[in-house]
Amino acid sequence: MTSTEKDLAAVRERVKEATRRRGRGSWLWKLSPFSPILLLVVWEGASRSGMIDARFFPPPTTIIGTFGDMISSGDLWGDSQATLTRVFIGFLIGAVPAVLLGIALGSVRVLRAIFGPIITSLLPVPKVAIFPLLILIFGLGEMSKYAIVAIGVFFYIFFNTMSGVLQTPPVYLDVATANGASALQRWLTVALPSALPNIFTGLRLSIAGAFVIIAAAEFVGAEKGLGFLVWSSWSTFAVAKMYVGIITISVYGYVAALLVGFLERRFVPWSKQ
């Protein structure tokens, strides 16, 4: 056997060994979907046995029972409807101008030089911190809730959109210009499609941020909503109801992120290439 054949045989042995190791570890991935169930079982046992304080960490079975009671009474749906409506309307109000301004500033250097520093300087301002100002302007009605969500999602989407436009290969724009495309046509047919993967990244980030912001806003400026449910449950020490509100917000945020991912795969299939 020549030295080359020996080297090839050694490589094949290493590949076989690596394959065997992957096969031995594959069963761990099969168990991963059950890890949340294991966590709930441990939580249940620790709470029932007194290892953790059931006043602050009630057993999951108690939380599930409270969840069922709130669904049957309709209380949870009323709070969910209020929060989802505020998120949906506020999201639209913030997302549309964010996309348009992101494309405009990403495409036009003069606009980027004038307005870019202004928007960038506003980014670090805590969005919840300006909620009292919005209450002064719009009152305690729904408009202040829409406004705080819109402001929160605007920055995520704007900067991702502008970044996507700036990453557009210049040759694409040159080809469009050489073929007589107007500025608007270049935005719609070149800049926007190129920025869509980044836009959907901003949408995924902003939808999660929207639920965080509206929950915080509902703590102090609402009489209905999942954030109000969490706050009122805390104030009355109804801990199981508080967990129901927190979990419900988490589920809605997760489902919304899945929906955005589905839309991305449907309308931007090239984003994963």
Q: 202 in a domain, yes or no?
A: yes
* Out of 201-210, 215-224, 225-234, least confident range: 215-224
Specify whether 79 is located in the same domain as 114.
Answer: yes
**Better-predicted residue by pLDDT, 186 or 34:** 186
pLDDT band at residue 75, thresholds of 50, 70 and 90? confident
Alpha helices in the chain (DSSP H): 3-31, 35-49, 60-73, 75-107, 109-122, 131-138, 142-166, 170-178, 183-186, 192-221, 226-235, 239-267
pLDDT band at residue 186, thresholds of 50, 70 and 90? confident
Specify whether 86 is located in the same domain as 137.
Answer: yes
Specify whether 107 is located in the same domain as 238.
Answer: yes
Q: Identify the pLDDT of residue 32.
A: 62
pLDDT band at residue 29, thresholds of 50, 70 and 90? low
Number of domains comprising the chain: 2
> Is 71 within 8 Å of 214 (Cβ atoms)?
no
Residues near 241 by beta carbon (within 8 Å), at least 6 away in sequence? 66, 70, 229, 233
Q: Identify the pLDDT of residue 123.
A: 87
Cα separation of the two ends of the chain: 44
Specify whether 116 is located in the same domain as 41.
Answer: no
Please tell me the distance from the alpha carbon of residue 223 to that of residue 229, in angstroms, as a whole number. Answer: 9
Q: 58 in a domain, yes or no?
A: no
> Is 260 within 8 Å of 207 (Cβ atoms)?
yes
Residues 224/225/227/229 CA torsion (nearest 10 deg): 60
CATH number at residue 262: 1.10.3720.10
Specify whether 23 is located in the same domain as 125.
Answer: no
Q: Identify the pLDDT of residue 1.
A: 54
Specify whether 162 is located in the same domain as 213.
Answer: yes
Please tell me the distance from the alpha carbon of residue 66 to that of residue 265, in angstroms, as a whole number. Answer: 37
Residues above pLDDT 90, as percent of the chain: 29
Q: Identify the pLDDT of residue 273.
A: 46
Burial label, 143 (beta-carbon count in 10 A; 0-12, 13-18, 19+): middle
Specify whether 102 is located in the same domain as 18.
Answer: no
CA 234 to chain centre: 25
pLDDT surpasses 70 at 60: yes
pLDDT surpasses 60 at 117: yes
Q: 92 in a domain, yes or no?
A: yes
Across residues 113-123, what is the average pLDDT?
90
pLDDT tens per residue, range 135-147: 888 888 889 999 9
pLDDT tens per residue, range 243-254: 999 999 999 999
Q: 199 in a domain, yes or no?
A: yes
CA 139 to chain centre: 28
Q: 55 in a domain, yes or no?
A: no
**Better-predicted residue by pLDDT, 221 or 109:** 109
**Which range marks the domain in which residue 73 is found?**
63-272
Please tell me the distance from the alpha carbon of residue 151 to that of residue 119, in angstroms, as a whole number. Answer: 11
Angle at 218 between CA 225 and CA 151, to 5 degrees: 115
Q: Identify the pLDDT of residue 242.
A: 93
pLDDT surpasses 70 at 9: no
Specify whether 27 is located in the same domain as 91.
Answer: no
The identity of residue 246, as a single letter, is: I
Residues near 51 by beta carbon (within 8 Å), at least 6 away in sequence? 45
The identity of residue 49, as a single letter, is: S
pLDDT tens per residue, range 78-114: 999 999 999 999 999 999 999 999 988 988 889 899 9
* Out of 146-155, 213-222, 224-233, 255-264, least confident range: 213-222
Residues above pLDDT 70, as percent of the chain: 86
The identity of residue 273, as a single letter, is: Q
Specify whether 34 is located in the same domain as 108.
Answer: no
Q: Identify the pLDDT of residue 110.
A: 92
Specify whether 222 is located in the same domain as 260.
Answer: yes
Specify whether 42 is located in the same domain as 154.
Answer: no
Burial label, 212 (beta-carbon count in 10 A; 0-12, 13-18, 19+): middle
Q: 239 in a domain, yes or no?
A: yes
Whats the size of the chain, residue-wise? Answer: 273
> Is 105 within 8 Å of 163 (Cβ atoms)?
no
**Better-predicted residue by pLDDT, 185 or 116:** 116
Averaged confidence pLDDT in the chain: 84
Please tell me the distance from the alpha carbon of residue 148 to that of residue 144, in angstroms, as a whole number. Answer: 6
pLDDT surpasses 70 at 21: no
pLDDT band at residue 174, thresholds of 50, 70 and 90? confident
Burial label, 102 (beta-carbon count in 10 A; 0-12, 13-18, 19+): buried
The dihedral sign for the CA sequence 218, 223, 229, 235: positive
Please tell me the distance from the alpha carbon of residue 268 to that of residue 35, in angstroms, as a whole number. Answer: 33
Q: 91 in a domain, yes or no?
A: yes
Q: 57 in a domain, yes or no?
A: no
Specify whether 80 is located in the same domain as 24.
Answer: no
pLDDT surpasses 70 at 16: no
